[in-house]
Every structure is written in C-alpha cells, then in structure tokens.
Amino acid sequence: MNYTYVILIPLIPLLSFLVLGIFNKKIKPTVSGYIGVAGLSASAALSYYTAYQYFFVVEKVNGVFQTFVEKTTWMNFTDTLAIDMGILIDPISVMMLVVVSTVSLMVHIYSRGYMKEDEGYTKFFAFLGLFSFSMFGLVLATNLFQIYIFWELVGVSSYLLIGYYYTKTSAVAAAKKAFIVTRFADLGFLIGILIIGYYTGTYDFQTLNNPEGNAILSWATTSFYGLSITTWALILIFMGGAGKSAMFPLHIWLPDAMEGPTPVSALIHAATMVVAGVYLVARLFPMYYFVEDGFALNIVAYVGAFSSLFAAIIAVTQTDIKRVLAFSTMSQLGYMMLALGVSGYEGHNGLGYMASMFHLFTHAMFKALLFLGAGSVIHAVHSNYLKDMGGLRKYMPITNITFLIAALAIAGFPFTSGFFSKDEILVAAFEHNKLIYGVGIFVAGLTAFYMFRLYFGIFWGKDTQYKHAPHESPLSMTFPLMFLALLSLVSGFIPFSELVTADKVGIHGHLSLLTSLEAIHWDMAAIAISVGLIGIALAWLFYKKENDLADRFASAFGVFYKWTSNKFYFDEIYMFVTKKIIFNRISAPIAKFDKKIVDGTMEGIGNKTVVIANKIKGMQSGKVQDYAFGFIAGVVVLAMVFIYLWTN
C-alpha cells in the first residue's frame, strides 16, 4: 500500500497558514474562515480514508498490523547515524491522525461563530493552521529528532494562540509561562534524545522499538549512578512529555493557558498539544517496557497516578469553569499515563497500553465538547465564573443536552464512551498495581462530582437574573457540539482493542460492537459505576438547587479547602524559588559581579586607552618637518644609548 499521499495531511494546513498569514490584510474575514475550514476538511477526509485503508482494507501480515514508512535522509552524521524526514504509518499514528483532524476541524467550524466579531479573525485562523500542521507533523514523525522539531513548533504555535489577546497582560503572562515551563521540560527531552542517539547509534523509531534489536538488548552496557544510561535517557524524554502533558510538578502552565480564546482551549487541552506527552511515551513504549525491567515505566505510572489525584482534588474547588476543565484535563492525562505505566506488552498483558490510547481517543471527543460547550456558555453570559451562571437550560437547550452528554461520558456513566475506556484502565491497574487502582477509583468519584458540580451550577442552580437574556449559540457553534456529542456516545463501541495495541496484534473480540457487553468486567465496572453515581448524587444534592450545603462542606474542610482553591500555592512556591532564590540570591550577585568587575574592568581599560590616546594625538601635527625632527632625534638617542652600552 502506498501512503505517500499522507504527506498532504500536514501540508494542507501549512498552505492555509501561509495563504492567510501572507494575505492577512487582503482576505475578507468570512473568506479566511472558509479557507481554514476547507483546508482542515480536506486533511480530515484524508485522515479518515487513511484509517479505513489501514485498519480495514490492508491485510495484516501474520496477524500483525504492519508499519509503513516513507522517508528521505535529511542530515548524515556518520555512516550509521543520520536524521531522516518522512511519515510513519502504524496503529497509533493513524489513530492520532483521526483524533487531531476531527477535533481541529470542529474547532475551525466553531471558531467561525465564536470569533466572528474579532479584529484578528484571519490571523486567528492562520495560527490554527500552523498549530494543526505542527501536530500532524508530530504524530507522523519517523524518528526522535523529527518529532522534536515538530514538538517545538507545537510549542511556538501554542504560544501564539494562548497569547492571542496580546493586549491583555494576563494573556501575555500565560503565554510566556506556558512557553518557559515547557521549554524547561524540553531541555530534558533534548538531552535524552542526544543520549539515545549517542549510545544506540540511531534516532529511528522502528529500530529503537524493535524488542530484538540492539537498542533494547544492549541497555545494560553502560550505567550511571546505579541505572543504565538508556533508562536515564528515557526518564529525561518522559520529562519532556510530562511538561507537554502538564504532569506534576510541571503542570503550572495549564490553568493559566485558559487566557486564550475558548476554541484554543478546546484544541490545545482536549486532543492535541497536551496528549503529545502521552503519545511520546506510547511511541517509545517497547523501550520503556523492556529496558531495565520497565524502571522508567514505573515512574510514568506513579507520576500519572499522583497527577490524576492532585488535579482532581483542585478541580473540585475551582470557580472558573475553564479552569475546572483545565484541571480535569490534567487529571485525565494522568489516567492515560498511569495506564501506560501499568501495562505489559503482549496480548492481554498489554491492556493498559490499549486502554490508554482508547481513553485518549474518547477523552478527545468529550473534553473538546466540554470546552466548546463552556465557550458557548461564556459567549452567552460574558463571564467565566459559576457565580454568574445558573438556570441556563431554559435558554440554551442544545448546549445543555450536549454538555450533559459530555459530563456523563467523563464521569464514566454506563455505555457512554468514557465508561468503556475508563473501565479498561481500572482493570489494567487492578491487575498490576492495587495502590494505583485505588487512586483511580477515588479519582473516578471526584471526577463525577466536580463535573456535575459544573453542570448543575451552569444549567440548574439559581435562576440568575441576567441583564440580557442569554440565547442559544448559532449553528456554526452548535453543530460541532452535536457532532462531538454523538461521538461521545458511540465511540466507546469502536473495536479499539482489535486495532491499537502495543504489539500491533490486537486483543481479538475484546470490546467489539457485538461482544462489548460480555467483555465488560462487570464486577470491576460495578465499583466504578457506584463511585461515579455517588459523586453525581452528591453534586445533585449540593448544586442542583440553591442551598448552603456547599458552603458548609467547604467550611468543614477549613484550611485544606483554602489550599485546594489556591492550587496548593504551587504558583507562589515557583515564584518564590525563581524570583527570591534564583533571581535575587543567585543571579543578582552574579550579575553584579559581571557588571562591576568584568564589565567595569573592560570599560576601565577602554576609558584609560581613550585618555592616553587623547594625550598622544596632540603629537600628531600633520607637519612633515616635525615627524623628521622626531625621527632624527630618536635615532640620535638610540645611537647614544648603544654607544654607552658598547663602551661600558
């Protein structure tokens, strides 16, 4: 099968970016919206066609999905070490093509209505095109260096989108914060790449991920502080992934990134930029699993579990609806990471890997729906805060129903998409690590509670007296909501375990459309369902009707509630460490030494040189007679000195 045409999937949004960027002032805003939507529609169509061909037309070889690579050598370092540029087609790259193209297309359509009156309408669609190009390039990368290039392009384009409202101080600060934190994490990623290349002699994913290859089999040849150098490299690469996916403690950029337009929040925080870290670990999963008995993979599991719990606790107390969803994203990304961390490689042992990718897929749909639904609400009431909302179900019926579907999906309500993927994660965790399973169950209950706290607070609760009666969003905004709501209901029935697994073989019959009901682990599912229903019931009790139960609940937790509402003061801690310690105590004395001693010395030498030169230049009269006299006088003096020394 020839997949050369796949290169068009990233190139079309790139073309859209160039056209809209170059002719920004000459293209009418409405036309630019159509150009952006048309470009992503073409990329989405090609992505769906690729998925159909790869999964259902092209035959497996010996029961294994094949990997197809189209590449060309970009740079040669040695006979064995080179950097290629190309496209890699395998189950997870095809899956990611579908995820990125679907969400990006819905965001493009939605933005036509949401950004309608914005002055930078055309520029916004240009930035969306650049971001989509970067994400497509990232998921199709054939090697570590190529993925790093697009990794940084994603960072740059996200900086532009988060800081889109550049006249707002908070938006500029949020963009810089996201850029700096992720760049710090990416330094670890880059060092890990260089170590891998030096010790294995390759950056190619196919070579690195071969369980029988030298890259994996020779991991024990070099050690550093009790761990193999390859393990250290994998930990550093995970550091880059943790930064992009907002894992603890590199999570602080994510809530502030809500300063960007709501469609940006949906694009970045639902299915694209933030899942890049999960995708990176999944892309190198054989190395993480086989090298040093999965030591680095255990770190992934525990960091994911803690991040999931940490974010869910904070989400319970937030009052800005976009920040609730931001911490929810962090929590669900932790779910995906912990699933990878507890996974095996072959057959049913690889359930965690499959569950992680499955949850990545389903989460993309319902989280994009939640963000776009929140945008529809914000568009109607002109506020981000729960205190300014309530009773909106009467004014916004489509947004109400679609938001409810998304809330049920993320809460793991039976037979929604989130129910199937979350069930598989919990089963995988139970089979490999009971502690992580316990964390997962508790987070499931918290997720149901804070999501329905959000739903009841927006659409039920107090009947707010609005100055201007809210109204339903236009079709350009409600169509993506309805489309994503449909996917949030049915995507759980995709036979995912037969398509995307670590060993590319598939777990046959597991969660297929016809056998899904039998395949569900009902004993495990019953626990998760019960915990979720308890969370929903508590939210209904506290927030469906206006009462003081929530305030009494908050008071009962006292200081702990204050800590959680202030995100455990991590922003303040980081500011103290960076500003008070690094800048004032370390950097400031060094800067003072540099200015006073180093610069002072060089400036002093320069100043003295100028003074001496000014005094000497008086000797330059321009008269030949004076120069001749000086020359002869010098000769005479030198001759007298020479005669004196010779005679004595």
Q: 123: how many CB neighbours lie within 10 A of its CB? A: 18
Average pLDDT rounded to a whole number, residues 540-558: 78
Which pLDDT value is given to residue 101?
Answer: 93
Helix residue spans in 76-228 (DSSP H): 91-114, 121-140, 144-162, 169-200, 205-208, 214-217
* 508 pLDDT higher than 70: no
Helix residue spans in 390-474 (DSSP H): 397-410, 417-432, 434-459
Close Cβ partners of 140 (under 8 Å, ≥ 6 residues apart): 6, 9, 10, 87, 88, 89, 93, 97
Q: Among 302-311, 365-374, 406-415, 633-642, name the one with the lowest average pLDDT.
A: 633-642
Give the tens place of pLDDT for each residue, 193-212: 999 988 888 888 988 988 88
| CB of 372 closer than 8 Å to CB of 380 | no
Which pLDDT value is given to residue 10?
Answer: 94
**Would you mind telling me the total number of residues written for the chain in this entry?**
648
Average pLDDT rounded to a whole number, residues 434-457: 93
- Distance CA(128)–CA(156), nearest Å, equals 12
* Closest C-alpha to 355, from 287, 420, 309: 420
* 537 pLDDT higher than 70: yes
Place of tokens 């010098």: 634
**Angle at alpha carbon of residue 363, lines to 361 and 368, rounded to 5°:** 110
Quick one: pLDDT band at residue 510, thresholds 50, 70, 90? Answer: very low
* 312 pLDDT higher than 90: yes
| 441's tokens | 């169950």
Q: Among 131-145, 548-562, 596-610, name the one with the lowest average pLDDT.
A: 548-562
* Closest C-alpha to 454, from 406, 394, 420, 396: 406
* 647 pLDDT higher than 70: yes
Higher pLDDT, 485 or 167: 485
Give the tens place of pLDDT for each residue, 339-366: 999 999 888 888 899 999 999 999 999 9
Which pLDDT value is given to residue 60?
Answer: 83
Q: 393: how many CB neighbours lie within 10 A of its CB? A: 16
Q: Among 243-257, 310-324, 358-372, 536-550, name the one with the lowest average pLDDT.
A: 536-550
* Closest C-alpha to 84, from 173, 222, 214, 197: 197
Which pLDDT value is given to residue 585?
Answer: 76
Which pLDDT value is given to residue 441?
Answer: 94
Q: With residue 339 as reference, give the H or E element that holds it.
A: helix 321-341
Chain Cα centroid distance, residue 332: 13
Q: Among 252-256, 511-515, 545-549, name the one with the lowest average pLDDT.
A: 511-515
* 480 pLDDT higher than 80: yes
- Helices H / strands E in the chain, number of each: 27, 4
Q: With residue 76 as reference, give the H or E element that holds it.
A: strand 68-76
Q: 558: how many CB neighbours lie within 10 A of its CB? A: 9
* 438 pLDDT higher than 60: yes
Average pLDDT rounded to a whole number, residues 357-385: 90
* 618 pLDDT higher than 70: no
Quick one: pLDDT band at residue 369, thresholds 50, 70, 90? Answer: very high
629 burial (CB, 10 Å; 0-12 / 13-18 / 19+) is: exposed
| CB of 164 closer than 8 Å to CB of 58 | no
Higher pLDDT, 110 or 570: 110
Which pLDDT value is given to residue 619?
Answer: 66
Which pLDDT value is given to residue 631?
Answer: 78
What global pTM score does this model have?
0.87
Give the tens place of pLDDT for each residue, 334-346: 999 999 999 998 8
Give the tens place of pLDDT for each residue, 587-601: 778 888 888 888 888
Which pLDDT value is given to residue 313?
Answer: 93
- The CA-based dihedral angle spanning residues 565, 568, 569, 571, taken in that order and rounded to the nearest 10 degrees: -100
Average pLDDT rounded to a whole number, residues 402-425: 92
Give the tens place of pLDDT for each residue, 240-270: 999 888 888 888 888 888 888 888 888 887 6
**What average pLDDT is seen over the chain?**
86
Quick one: pLDDT band at residue 511, thresholds 50, 70, 90? Answer: very low
Q: 386: how many CB neighbours lie within 10 A of its CB? A: 19
Which pLDDT value is given to residue 512?
Answer: 41
Which pLDDT value is given to residue 621?
Answer: 65
Backbone angle region of 643, left / alpha / beta, with phi > 0 → left and psi within -120 to 50 → alpha: alpha
Average pLDDT rounded to a whole number, residues 123-130: 90
| CB of 13 closer than 8 Å to CB of 127 | no
Place of tokens 């398509």: 499
Which pLDDT value is given to residue 270?
Answer: 65
Which pLDDT value is given to residue 271?
Answer: 61
Average pLDDT rounded to a whole number, residues 24-36: 86
Quick one: pLDDT band at residue 489, thresholds 50, 70, 90? Answer: very high
Quick one: pLDDT band at residue 62, thresholds 50, 70, 90? Answer: confident
| 166's tokens | 């550049």
Q: With residue 570 as reference, give the H or E element that holds it.
A: helix 570-575
| CB of 458 closer than 8 Å to CB of 321 | yes
Q: Name the amino acid, one letter, at 422.
A: K
Highest mean pLDDT among 492-501, 518-527, 610-619: 492-501
Share of the chain above pLDDT 70, in %: 95
Q: Are strands 223-224 and 82-89 parallel, antiparallel or unpaired?
A: unpaired
| 263's tokens | 């469609």
* 402 pLDDT higher than 60: yes
